[in-house]
Amino acid sequence: MGLRLFFDSDLDRSIWNNHLRLMARPKEFDRETVLLEAIKVFSDHGYEGTSTDALLRAMGISRQSLYDTFGDKRRLYLEALQHYNATSVTEILRTLNTGASPLQGLEAALVAFASRPAAEAPLGCMGVGAVCEFGRSDPEITLLVEASGRVLLTAFERLVTDAKAAGEVGADVDGRAAAQFLTATLSGIKIAARGGASPAVLHDIARMAIRSLR
């Protein structure tokens, strides 16, 4: 037996029916597209520096749509960070496999960030930004950052090991330490890019890091 509703007037019934039509209406925006717009804002201003109004303007949606689709600002931030980290790590892993040799793959991964299109150059890295803003004070954010960090560290260590086997890296180089060094170098390149370093400077940093492994 269905739920019976009682209305005091035809106006009440009309309002209720209109509410049901709005609830049933499909979303008039693409979830992925508006999430990417939120990532740009968070990457540029951080969590605390981003207002809900700024998000709504960038995403082009209403406040109610934001709440209905993503929850509150914090839930949106967490989803944006997870999406950004997953996409970023996937792209780095893809780049690692483009080199003609393991060492060239490592260099390609470091250089790739320095070779971003000019329109993307001023944008910060949301992952690095989250670490700088929160450190380890927020368990949920720490979990997301550490998960992507482990994947990246493992991939770097694997290629360093392969490079050692190929004679491209010194035999005395510790694979895990080298992977940690490369991870820190990549973060440094991202911060330098955010600070306005030119692509040429970023390329030099990447190549210097690779030369230090030989």
Contacts of 183 (CB under 8 A, 6+ apart): 149, 152, 153, 156
CATH fold, domain 81-211, is Tetracycline Repressor; domain 2 (1.10.357)
Please count the other Cβ atoms lying within 10 Å of the Cβ belonging to residue 195.
8
Tens of pLDDT, residues 56-84: 999 999 999 999 999 999 999 999 999 99
Q: Is the pLDDT of residue 17 over 80?
A: no
Concatenate the DSSP letters of all residues of 131-196 into one string: HHHHTTS-HHHHHHHHHHHHHHHHHHHHHHHHHHHTTSS-TT--HHHHHHHHHHHHHHHHHHHHTT
* Percent residues over pLDDT 70 in the chain: 84
Average pLDDT for 120-141: 89
Contacts of 182 (CB under 8 A, 6+ apart): 106, 110, 156, 160, 209
Average pLDDT for 132-149: 95
Q: Is the pLDDT of residue 23 over 60?
A: no
Token pair, residue 47, equals: 């969590």
Domain ranges of the chain: 81-211
Q: Is the pLDDT of residue 98 over 60?
A: yes
Q: Is the pLDDT of residue 95 over 50?
A: yes
Tens of pLDDT, residues 25-47: 445 779 999 999 999 999 999 99
Task: Give the pLDDT score at 124.
Answer: 81
pTM summary value: 0.82
Are 43 and 125 in contact by the 8 Å Cβ rule? The answer is: yes
The candidate with the shortest Cα–Cα distance to 127, out of 179, 178, 92, is 92
Task: Give the pLDDT score at 22.
Answer: 43
